[in-house]
Amino acid sequence: MSQVIQAAGGVVWRKNSKGDYEVALVHRPRYDDWSLPKGKQESGEPLIASAYREIMEETGLNIQIGQFIGEIEYFTIDGAKKVSYWSAKALDSDKSFRANNEVDQLLWLDFDKALNKLTRESDVEILTKFIQMDFDATPLILLRHAKALARKEWQGGDEDRPLDNLGQIQAKRTFSIYQVFGLQAIHTSDAVRCYDTVISMCRSLGLNPTVANQLSEYTFEKNKKKALEYVTELSEVVVKHQSPTLLCSHNPILPRMLEKLTKKSKVDLPLEKLQPGEAWVLFMRKKKCVGIDLIAAPVV
């Protein structure tokens, strides 16, 4: 059996000058169709990074990836193809669009007109799912540090325990995943394994990390309220300023934070705790969590 071709794309949205929502459709001259922007995954590339790259290549727009919408699978002359879609907020105007090898036109339409304009029923299905989502939300990412040296293998203080070889590679690969969210701030526990997980990404993004002992395990053991108060205040800033933010902490703390931030929400909570290098992306809107996505650890 031939391998399934993986591809990714998204529903690109904006608010127009009247404050109404619009989505971007692209015209592909090769097929003479109107579709959602998408393209094939490159070797070793996380799918969410593929969506980010393909959308920007086809539209020329600077975007911020949002919630995962869903996936569709169909057959082509090259075999089975699976396309994964995310919502994507346009951060600039369509004036940046330039015709390219894949796309010769970009059109902004309201939801009803877009549904009628799309050529393929599978795109209609994805756009319908998108419309039903609370898509205009800001990501707050709860990241568990990358894989660290085992406690029994470390002679020093636990807060100084470093990443192991696998964790160091994971840390170097976080940027390709989390750049898609348009991060404006990164907060981290002062434990070495957390700081070292995010520092390379901070440098690539030009951000100075906020290092907080309230996010550490040893502080949490003494006073659990400090970490919960910290993330509550942070979530309020995220919502108020619509500033995508990442917080890196530890396994005992992150599930409690998740519980705290979703207390008044109706979202389904993850059943499993995070593994090293994994993250929950909480989409916050009007002080509530309206969606949660799981981000897998970087593939090594």
Rounded mean pLDDT, 119-144: 97
Q: Which of 107, 131, 155 is the last residue of a domain?
A: 131
Residues 6+ apart with CB under 8 A from 298: 46, 169, 170, 173, 174, 176, 177, 277
Structure confidence at residue 66 (pLDDT): 98
Residues 63 and 175 reside in one and the same domain: no
Residues 153 and 288 reside in one and the same domain: yes
Q: Which of 84, 115, 131 is the last residue of a domain?
A: 131
Is the pLDDT at 257 greater than 80? The verdict is yes
54 domain residue, yes or no: yes
For residue 72, give the CATH number of its domain: 3.90.79.10
Is the pLDDT at 1 greater than 60? The verdict is no
* 3-state secondary structure string across the chain: CCCCEEEEEEEEEEECCCCCEEEEEEEECCCCEEECCEEECCCCCCHHHHHHHHHHHHHCCCEEEEEEEEEEEEEECCEEEEEEEEEEEECCCHHHCCCCCCCCEEEEECHHHHHHHCCCHHHHHHHHHHHCCCCCCEEEEEEECCCECCHHHCCCCHHHCCECHHHHHHHHCHHHHHHHHCCCEEEEECCHHHHHHHHHHHHHHCCCCEEEHHHCHHHHHHCHHHHHHHHHHHHHHHHHHCCCEEEEECCCCHHHHHHHHCCCCCCCCCCCCCCCCCEEEEEEECCEEEEEEEECCCCC
Structure confidence at residue 53 (pLDDT): 97
Q: Which of 13-22, 95-104, 181-190 has the lowest mean pLDDT?
A: 95-104
Q: Which of 78, 105, 131 is the last residue of a domain?
A: 131
> How does pLDDT run across 139-191, given as a tens digit for each residue?
999 999 999 999 999 999 999 999 999 999 999 999 999 999 999 999 999 99
Handedness of CA 75, 77, 81, 85 (dihedral sign): negative
Where residue 5 falls among pLDDT bands split at 50, 70, 90? very high
Rg (CA), the chain: 20
Query: In 3D, which of 90, 82, 91 has the Cα closest to residue 25?
Result: 90
* Entry pTM: 0.95
Residue predicted with more confidence, 197 or 271? 197
Q: Which domain, by its residues, includes 252?
A: 138-295
Where residue 95 falls among pLDDT bands split at 50, 70, 90? low
Where residue 224 falls among pLDDT bands split at 50, 70, 90? very high
Residues 61 and 24 reside in one and the same domain: yes
For the chain, what is the domain count?
Answer: 2
**Percent share of the chain, pLDDT over 70:** 98
Rounded Cα–Cα distance for residues 177 and 152 (Å): 31
For residue 213, give the CATH number of its domain: 3.40.50.1240
153 domain residue, yes or no: yes
Residues 142 and 287 reside in one and the same domain: yes
| Phi, psi at 178, each rounded to 5° | -85, -10
Q: b/e for 40-73, b at 16 or more Cβ within 10 A? A: ebeeebbbbbbbbbbbbebbbbebbbbbbbeebe
Residues 119 and 24 reside in one and the same domain: yes
